[in-house]
């Protein structure tokens, strides 16, 4: 039995083991986020099609190709979203395509990657999704499209864990190193890149190793109070927030730890 980890889970554990426990071990609902993701989804799908289906016989596609792919993906968008998406793609085209001598064929688009890590006799599967994976001369570049209206401030440690997870998984799958993770902000045309090094993989190994100890032996899930508590959905259950925290709701998943250990 393998314990499944994603970048979001690793980041959550790193931020606060107790919140991780509530969310992933006891499966308590976190606050739901609402909002229209439809435009972002259509943009991701259009970009995947643009790179996936292009014939690569001409160095650079004409704008018509982008327009064609966009029109395939507009689905149920409103007319103003269709117009907005088209102008976002146009900016992308002029910023990232026409400035190059050729549009390079990616290794893969809209992919899922998995890596394995065995720690303390527990097997972890590290799983992640990516929007695009490109070859560089000396390794791989992972591209993550961002369609949010504003550039999200990224916590350095959290980005590092994301990089480390991909570093480990890509190394196992392609026997090549991840050199860069690049966040590409579609609305502003900005590209923010982070260099990847073996130290990122080692950081992930260290966090997974802590988690293994927690799962195997400690099960303390120590609260780690900080700025994140202000928006934590589990504060009412948290002993660091209240001397007498609420009991967990009846539909919380039973403690799964013993079962995990016994099944190995």
Kindly list the residues in this chain that would bind ligand SF4 in the complex (CB under 6 A). 16, 18-19, 223-225, 228-229, 232, 234-235, 238, 240-241
Nearest approach, Cβ of 125 to ligand SF4 (angstroms)?
25
Nearest approach, Cβ of 7 to ligand SF4 (angstroms)?
18
What is the pairing mode between strands 108-119 and 122-136? antiparallel
Identify the CA nearest to 130 among candidates 113, 105, 148: 113
CB 235 within 8 A of CB 193: no
What is the pairing mode between strands 2-6 and 122-136? parallel
67 φ, ψ (degrees, to nearest 5) = -60, -45
| Cα 91 from Cα 110, distance rounded (Å) | 21
Pick between residue 18 and residue 146 the one whose CB is nearest to ligand SF4. Answer: 18
Nearest approach, Cβ of 224 to ligand SF4 (angstroms)?
6
80 φ, ψ (degrees, to nearest 5) = -70, -35
Nearest approach, Cβ of 13 to ligand SF4 (angstroms)?
11
Which 3 state secondary structure label does DSSP give 37?
A: coil
Pick between residue 17 and residue 40 the one whose CB is nearest to ligand SF4. Answer: 17
Nearest approach, Cβ of 222 to ligand SF4 (angstroms)?
9
Nearest approach, Cβ of 230 to ligand SF4 (angstroms)?
9
Pick between residue 10 and residue 186 the one whose CB is nearest to ligand SF4. Answer: 10
Task: Supply the DSSP string of 213-253, one letter for each residue.
Answer: HIIIII-------SGGGGG-TTGGG-TTT-SSPPPPPTTSP
CB 239 within 8 A of CB 246: no
Residue 168: exposure state from Cβ atoms within 10 A (0-12, 13-18, ≥19): buried
Pick between residue 166 and residue 234 the one whose CB is nearest to ligand SF4. Answer: 234
């Amino acid at each position: 039995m393998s314990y499944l980890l994603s970048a979001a889970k690793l980041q959550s554990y790193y931020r606060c083991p107790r919140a991780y426990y509530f969310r992933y071990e006891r499966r308590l609902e976190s606050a739901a986020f609402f909002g229209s993701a439809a435009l972002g989804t259509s943009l991701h799908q259009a970009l995947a099609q643009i790179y996936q289906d292009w014939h690569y016989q001409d160095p650079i596609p004409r704008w018509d190709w982008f327009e064609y792919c966009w029109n395939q993906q507009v689905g149920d968008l409103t007319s103003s979203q269709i117009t907005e998406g088209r102008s976002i793609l146009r900016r992308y085209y002029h910023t990232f395509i026409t400035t190059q001598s050729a549009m390079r064929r990616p290794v893969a688009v809209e992919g899922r990657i998995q890596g394995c890590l065995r720690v303390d006799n527990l097997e972890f599967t590290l799983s992640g999704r990516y929007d695009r994976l490109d070859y560089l001369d000396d390794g791989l570049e992972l591209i993550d499209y961002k369609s949010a209206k504003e550039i999200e401030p990224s916590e350095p440690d959290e980005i590092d864990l994301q990089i480390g997870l991909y570093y480990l998984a890509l190394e196992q799958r392609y026997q090549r190193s991840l050199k860069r993770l690049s966040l590409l902000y579609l609305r502003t045309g900005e590209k923010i890149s982070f260099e990847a090094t073996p130290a990122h993989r080692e950081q992930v190994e260290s966090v997974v190793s802590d988690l293994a100890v927690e799962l195997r032996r400690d099960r303390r899930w120590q609260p780690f109070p900080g700025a994140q508590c202000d928006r934590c959905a589990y504060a009412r259950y948290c002993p660091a927030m209240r001397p007498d925290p609420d009991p967990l709701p009846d539909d919380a998943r039973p403690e799964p730890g013993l079962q995990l250990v016994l099944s190995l």
